[in-house]
Amino acid sequence: MIVVHHLNNSRSQRILWLLEELELPYEIRRYQRQATMLAPEALKKVHPLGKAPVISDGDRVVAESGAILEYLAERYDSQQLLTPQTEEEKLQSRYWLHYAEGSLMPLVVMRLIFSRMGKPPVPWLLRPVGAAFGNGVRKGFIDKQLATHRQFIEQHLTGHPWFAGQRLTLADFQMSFPIQGLAARGGLDNMPATQAWLDNIMRRPAWQRAIQQGGELNLAAE
Protein backbone atom coordinates (compact mmCIF):
# COMPACT_ATOMS: atom_id res chain seq x y z
CA MET A 1 0.00 0.00 0.00
CA ILE A 2 1.27 3.47 -0.91
CA VAL A 3 1.30 5.81 2.09
CA VAL A 4 1.27 9.57 1.53
CA HIS A 5 2.70 11.49 4.47
CA HIS A 6 0.52 14.51 3.91
CA LEU A 7 1.31 17.94 5.35
CA ASN A 8 -1.59 20.39 5.24
CA ASN A 9 -1.23 23.29 2.79
CA SER A 10 1.70 21.71 1.01
CA ARG A 11 3.10 20.31 -2.19
CA SER A 12 1.85 16.85 -1.26
CA GLN A 13 -1.49 17.83 -2.83
CA ARG A 14 0.17 17.15 -6.18
CA ILE A 15 0.82 13.57 -5.15
CA LEU A 16 -2.76 12.96 -4.09
CA TRP A 17 -3.95 14.32 -7.44
CA LEU A 18 -1.68 11.95 -9.36
CA LEU A 19 -2.77 8.97 -7.29
CA GLU A 20 -6.39 9.83 -7.98
CA GLU A 21 -5.75 10.23 -11.72
CA LEU A 22 -4.14 6.78 -11.80
CA GLU A 23 -6.90 5.40 -9.56
CA LEU A 24 -4.35 3.85 -7.22
CA PRO A 25 -5.21 2.80 -3.66
CA TYR A 26 -3.35 4.74 -0.99
CA GLU A 27 -3.40 5.71 2.65
CA ILE A 28 -2.96 9.22 4.04
CA ARG A 29 -1.06 9.95 7.24
CA ARG A 30 -1.70 13.54 8.19
CA TYR A 31 0.65 16.12 9.68
CA GLN A 32 -0.15 19.69 10.72
CA ARG A 33 2.14 22.66 10.33
CA GLN A 34 3.46 24.33 13.46
CA ALA A 35 2.82 28.00 14.27
CA THR A 36 6.10 28.75 12.48
CA MET A 37 4.60 27.15 9.32
CA LEU A 38 7.29 24.46 9.49
CA ALA A 39 6.50 20.76 9.38
CA PRO A 40 6.31 18.90 12.71
CA GLU A 41 9.28 16.93 13.99
CA ALA A 42 7.31 13.70 13.48
CA LEU A 43 8.03 13.85 9.74
CA LYS A 44 11.72 13.30 10.47
CA LYS A 45 10.83 9.78 11.49
CA VAL A 46 9.81 9.19 7.87
CA HIS A 47 12.62 11.07 6.11
CA PRO A 48 15.69 12.77 7.66
CA LEU A 49 14.80 16.19 6.21
CA GLY A 50 11.36 16.13 7.81
CA LYS A 51 9.60 17.73 4.86
CA ALA A 52 6.60 16.94 2.68
CA PRO A 53 5.80 15.47 0.31
CA VAL A 54 7.15 12.05 1.05
CA ILE A 55 5.65 8.65 0.34
CA SER A 56 6.39 5.13 1.45
CA ASP A 57 5.69 2.22 -0.85
CA GLY A 58 6.45 -0.98 0.98
CA ASP A 59 10.00 -0.61 2.29
CA ARG A 60 10.82 2.21 -0.14
CA VAL A 61 10.66 5.87 0.92
CA VAL A 62 10.60 8.52 -1.80
CA ALA A 63 10.84 12.27 -1.19
CA GLU A 64 10.71 15.41 -3.39
CA SER A 65 7.69 16.16 -5.56
CA GLY A 66 9.31 15.58 -8.93
CA ALA A 67 10.97 12.34 -7.85
CA ILE A 68 7.70 11.03 -6.39
CA LEU A 69 5.72 11.92 -9.50
CA GLU A 70 8.24 10.21 -11.76
CA TYR A 71 8.43 7.16 -9.49
CA LEU A 72 4.67 6.70 -9.41
CA ALA A 73 4.25 7.22 -13.15
CA GLU A 74 7.08 4.85 -14.07
CA ARG A 75 5.91 2.17 -11.66
CA TYR A 76 2.14 2.40 -11.91
CA ASP A 77 1.06 4.20 -15.10
CA SER A 78 0.90 0.97 -17.09
CA GLN A 79 -1.47 2.49 -19.66
CA GLN A 80 0.90 5.46 -20.15
CA LEU A 81 -1.93 7.91 -19.59
CA LEU A 82 0.54 10.65 -18.69
CA THR A 83 3.35 9.78 -21.11
CA PRO A 84 4.28 12.47 -23.69
CA GLN A 85 3.77 11.20 -27.23
CA THR A 86 6.35 13.14 -29.21
CA GLU A 87 9.97 14.13 -28.67
CA GLU A 88 8.96 17.77 -28.30
CA GLU A 89 6.35 16.89 -25.69
CA LYS A 90 8.94 14.86 -23.78
CA LEU A 91 11.30 17.84 -23.74
CA GLN A 92 8.55 20.23 -22.67
CA SER A 93 7.34 17.91 -19.93
CA ARG A 94 10.85 17.50 -18.56
CA TYR A 95 11.52 21.24 -18.72
CA TRP A 96 8.39 22.33 -16.84
CA LEU A 97 8.78 19.49 -14.34
CA HIS A 98 12.13 21.00 -13.30
CA TYR A 99 11.20 24.66 -13.87
CA ALA A 100 8.42 24.51 -11.27
CA GLU A 101 10.76 23.97 -8.33
CA GLY A 102 14.02 25.21 -9.84
CA SER A 103 12.89 28.64 -11.06
CA LEU A 104 9.33 29.53 -10.06
CA MET A 105 8.82 28.18 -6.53
CA PRO A 106 11.89 29.91 -5.03
CA LEU A 107 10.39 33.27 -6.02
CA VAL A 108 6.95 32.33 -4.71
CA VAL A 109 8.46 31.24 -1.38
CA MET A 110 10.67 34.33 -1.16
CA ARG A 111 7.65 36.53 -1.67
CA LEU A 112 5.83 34.75 1.15
CA ILE A 113 8.82 35.06 3.50
CA PHE A 114 9.39 38.76 2.86
CA SER A 115 5.63 39.39 3.17
CA ARG A 116 5.73 38.00 6.71
CA MET A 117 8.66 40.07 7.97
CA GLY A 118 6.29 42.48 9.71
CA LYS A 119 4.28 39.72 11.39
CA PRO A 120 4.80 37.14 14.15
CA PRO A 121 7.08 35.45 15.05
CA VAL A 122 9.11 38.63 14.36
CA PRO A 123 9.34 40.54 17.70
CA TRP A 124 6.78 43.34 17.73
CA LEU A 125 9.40 46.07 18.16
CA LEU A 126 11.07 44.97 14.92
CA ARG A 127 7.93 44.48 12.89
CA PRO A 128 7.75 48.01 11.39
CA VAL A 129 11.38 47.75 10.24
CA GLY A 130 10.81 44.19 9.02
CA ALA A 131 7.69 45.18 7.10
CA ALA A 132 9.46 48.10 5.43
CA PHE A 133 12.45 45.96 4.48
CA GLY A 134 10.25 43.10 3.24
CA ASN A 135 8.09 45.39 1.13
CA GLY A 136 11.19 46.99 -0.36
CA VAL A 137 12.65 43.65 -1.42
CA ARG A 138 9.33 42.50 -2.82
CA LYS A 139 8.76 45.62 -4.91
CA GLY A 140 12.37 46.11 -5.92
CA PHE A 141 13.24 42.54 -6.87
CA ILE A 142 10.79 39.68 -6.31
CA ASP A 143 7.68 41.17 -7.94
CA LYS A 144 9.67 42.24 -11.00
CA GLN A 145 11.07 38.73 -11.38
CA LEU A 146 7.63 37.18 -10.94
CA ALA A 147 6.22 39.48 -13.61
CA THR A 148 8.75 38.08 -16.08
CA HIS A 149 7.83 34.52 -15.15
CA ARG A 150 4.10 35.22 -15.41
CA GLN A 151 4.57 36.56 -18.92
CA PHE A 152 6.69 33.53 -19.84
CA ILE A 153 4.09 31.05 -18.56
CA GLU A 154 1.19 32.89 -20.18
CA GLN A 155 2.89 32.99 -23.57
CA HIS A 156 3.51 29.27 -23.41
CA LEU A 157 -0.02 28.32 -22.40
CA THR A 158 -1.52 30.62 -25.02
CA GLY A 159 -0.33 28.11 -27.60
CA HIS A 160 -0.73 24.89 -25.58
CA PRO A 161 -3.69 23.53 -23.58
CA TRP A 162 -1.25 21.67 -21.29
CA PHE A 163 2.35 22.39 -20.36
CA ALA A 164 3.80 19.63 -22.53
CA GLY A 165 1.42 20.22 -25.41
CA GLN A 166 -1.82 18.44 -26.19
CA ARG A 167 -2.19 16.14 -23.21
CA LEU A 168 -1.86 16.08 -19.44
CA THR A 169 1.61 15.07 -18.23
CA LEU A 170 3.62 15.17 -15.00
CA ALA A 171 4.55 18.76 -15.84
CA ASP A 172 0.99 19.86 -15.11
CA PHE A 173 0.99 18.15 -11.73
CA GLN A 174 4.27 19.81 -10.81
CA MET A 175 3.20 23.26 -12.02
CA SER A 176 -0.16 23.12 -10.24
CA PHE A 177 1.18 24.16 -6.83
CA PRO A 178 3.19 27.29 -7.76
CA ILE A 179 0.45 28.51 -10.07
CA GLN A 180 -2.10 28.07 -7.31
CA GLY A 181 0.25 30.07 -5.12
CA LEU A 182 0.30 32.87 -7.68
CA ALA A 183 -3.47 32.73 -8.16
CA ALA A 184 -4.10 32.96 -4.41
CA ARG A 185 -2.35 36.33 -4.34
CA GLY A 186 -3.90 37.80 -7.48
CA GLY A 187 -0.95 36.82 -9.63
CA LEU A 188 -3.06 35.54 -12.54
CA ASP A 189 -4.58 38.91 -13.39
CA ASN A 190 -4.29 39.44 -17.15
CA MET A 191 -3.28 35.78 -17.61
CA PRO A 192 -6.38 34.29 -19.30
CA ALA A 193 -4.61 31.24 -20.76
CA THR A 194 -3.06 30.35 -17.41
CA GLN A 195 -6.37 30.87 -15.64
CA ALA A 196 -8.07 28.61 -18.20
CA TRP A 197 -5.44 25.92 -17.57
CA LEU A 198 -6.01 26.16 -13.81
CA ASP A 199 -9.78 26.02 -14.27
CA ASN A 200 -9.37 22.90 -16.41
CA ILE A 201 -7.40 21.00 -13.79
CA MET A 202 -9.72 22.07 -10.99
CA ARG A 203 -12.68 20.68 -12.93
CA ARG A 204 -11.08 17.25 -13.22
CA PRO A 205 -12.83 14.63 -11.04
CA ALA A 206 -9.45 13.31 -9.84
CA TRP A 207 -8.44 16.80 -8.71
CA GLN A 208 -11.70 17.22 -6.81
CA ARG A 209 -11.30 13.83 -5.15
CA ALA A 210 -7.74 14.77 -4.13
CA ILE A 211 -9.02 17.97 -2.50
CA GLN A 212 -11.65 15.97 -0.65
CA GLN A 213 -8.96 13.62 0.62
CA GLY A 214 -6.26 16.16 1.44
CA GLY A 215 -8.24 19.26 2.27
CA GLU A 216 -8.53 22.66 0.63
CA LEU A 217 -5.33 24.58 0.03
CA ASN A 218 -5.07 28.01 1.65
CA LEU A 219 -2.12 29.58 -0.11
CA ALA A 220 -3.23 33.16 0.35
CA ALA A 221 -2.29 33.29 4.03
CA GLU A 222 0.65 35.66 4.51
Q: What is the pTM of this model?
A: 0.89
The reported pLDDT for the residue numbered 43 is 82
Instruction: Report the alpha-carbon distance of residue 71 to residue 81 in Å, rounded.
Output: 14
Burial class (CB in 10 A: 0-12, 13-18, 19+), 14: buried
Instruction: Report the alpha-carbon distance of residue 192 to residue 138 in Å, rounded.
Output: 24
Dihedral sign computed on CA atoms, order 86, 200, 197, 23: negative
The reported pLDDT for the residue numbered 170 is 98
Counting as low any pLDDT under 50, the low residues of the chain are 221-222
The reported pLDDT for the residue numbered 31 is 84
What separation in angstroms does the CA of 202 have from each of 55, 65, 112, 173, 197? Answer: 23, 19, 23, 11, 9
Cβ–Cβ < 8 Å for 181, 219: yes
The reported pLDDT for the residue numbered 222 is 43
The reported pLDDT for the residue numbered 219 is 67
pLDDT tens figures, 28-79: 998 888 776 677 788 888 889 888 899 999 999 999 999 999 999 999 999 9
The reported pLDDT for the residue numbered 63 is 94
